[in-house]
């Protein structure tokens, strides 16, 4: 069956009020479209857990800190609708900018500390834009559960913290990263990679795996782990590392000594495409 496509907040509220009245649970997968198997996994889990699955598709202007990145973000809406229908999504909410931001947004959600380092350091205002639109989506959809990919670990940590600090009645579900056979994490931005860049791109994940291997072998000095892992990228000068950090997986603060679970996270530029990825490492007992 085709997913029902809704653009208006009011219509969505009415439709979902009926769903709730019928005692059915709601699962939300917030996306910016250009859907791939990573989103497919969010939808699959939402489908397993919830009676009504809502996918939002909205390229959120306030989370882009570069106009060019926003302009060239892919928007294949017809394909996305087919993608959702084929996976049993009940409702696709695809509002216009005017619908989401009828007047300039003056109220924002700022999750401090968690967003200080990693992408937060290099994309000023990005996470404020993300948490603000996610709070709006939570208020509009009022889902029982919402699904986010582990690939955007800092985003997930910020959303978790927002949910706790604002007592939002939503269960946040973390969905493991989906990868190509060669390890490259799926991302809507991968379609911008040239064939040569596409060949080089998985080196980033291999560097993260090397860091995880060194940590598992007992190396506890974060600087040493980072230096050795980043050295594996030296044969690929096209890959310009923006950051390669080892952080506490909950508050996303850099650690010096690794004595428990950590997240190794990296961002790198390949030409005009920015790749991010991360891996969980360390002791899990």
Cβ closest to ligand PAF, residue 30 vs residue 282: 30
Minimum distance of ligand PAF from residue 18's CB (angstroms)? 25
CB atoms within 10 A of CB 210: 19
* CB nearer to ligand PAF: pick between 130 and 212: 130
Taking the least distance from each CB to ligand PAF, the nearer of 32 and 168 is 32
Beta carbon of residue 33, minimum distance to ligand PAF (angstroms, whole number): 8
Contact 140, 168 (CB under 8 A): no
Residues of this chain that interact with ligand PAF (CB under 6 A) are 30-32, 60, 63, 130, 133-134, 152, 155
- Whole-number minimum distance, CB 155 to ligand PAF, in Å? 6
Is 138:27 a contact under the CB 8 Å cutoff? Answer: no
Q: Measured between alpha carbons, how far is 270 from 198 in angstroms, rounded to an integer?
A: 9
Q: How far is 27 from 30, CA to CA, in rounded Å?
A: 10
Quote the least distance from Cβ 10 to ligand PAF, whole Å: 21
Instruction: Identify which of residues 5 and 238 has a Cβ nearer to ligand PAF in the complex.
Output: 5
Q: Which residues are catalytic?
A: 39
Q: How far from 54 is each of 41, 48, 87, 124, 270, CA to CA, in Å?
A: 14, 13, 12, 30, 34
Cβ proximity to ligand PAF: between 133 and 200 the closer is 133
d(CA 134, CA 143): 11
CA–CA separation, 14 and 46 (whole Å):
21
C-alpha distance from residue 139 to each of 132, 136, 180 (Å): 11, 5, 34
Q: Catalogue the E-assigned strands of the chain.
A: 4-6, 26-31, 52-57, 91-93, 145-149, 171-175, 239-247, 262-270, 273-281
* Least CB distance to ligand PAF at residue 130 (A): 5
Query: Taking the complex as a whole, how short is the minimal distance between the CB of residue 193 and ligand PAF, in angstroms?
Result: 18
Nearest to 212 by CA among 276, 283, 281: 281
Given the complex with ligand PAF, which of 60 and 115 has the nearer CB atom? 60
Nearest to 243 by CA among 207, 200, 191: 207
Give, in degrees to the nearest 5, the angle at Cα 280 between 275 and 284.
Answer: 180
Q: Could you tell me whether strands 4-6 and 26-31 are parallel, antiparallel, or unpaired per DSSP bridges?
A: unpaired
């Amino acid at each position: 069956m085709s997913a029902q496509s809704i653009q208006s907040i009011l219509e969505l509220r009415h439709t979902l009020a009926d769903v709730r009245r019928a005692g059915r649970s709601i699962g939300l997968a917030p996306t910016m479209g250009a859907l791939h198997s990573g989103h497919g996994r969010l939808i699959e889990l939402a489908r397993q857990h919830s009676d009504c699955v809502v996918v939002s598709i909205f390229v959120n202007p306030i989370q882009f800190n570069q106009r060019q990145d926003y302009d060239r973000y892919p928007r294949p809406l017809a394909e996305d609708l087919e993608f959702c229908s084929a996976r049993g999504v009940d409702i696709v909410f695809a509002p216009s900018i005017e619908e989401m931001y009828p007047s300039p947004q003056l109220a924002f959600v700022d999750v401090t500390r968690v967003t200080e380092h990693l992408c937060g350091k290099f994309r000023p205002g990005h996470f404020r834009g993300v948490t603000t639109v996610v709070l709006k989506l939570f208020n509009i959809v009022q889902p029982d559960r919402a699904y986010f990919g582990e690939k955007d670990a800092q985003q997930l940590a910020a959303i978790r913290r927002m949910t706790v600090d604002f007592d939002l009645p939503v269960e946040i579900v973390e969905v493991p990263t989906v990868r190509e056979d060669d390890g490259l994490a799926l991302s809507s931005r991968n379609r911008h990679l040239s064939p040569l860049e596409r060949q080089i791109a998985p080196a980033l994940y291999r560097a993260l795996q090397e860091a995880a291997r060194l940590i598992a072998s007992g190396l506890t000095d974060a600087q040493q782990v980072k230096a050795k892992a980043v050295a594996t990228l030296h044969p690929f000068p096209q890959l310009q590392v923006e950051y390669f950090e080892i952080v506490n997986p909950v508050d996303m603060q850099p650690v010096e000594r690794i004595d428990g679970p950590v997240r190794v996270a990296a961002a790198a530029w390949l030409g005009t495409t920015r790749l991010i990825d991360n891996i969980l490492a360390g002791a899990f007992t």
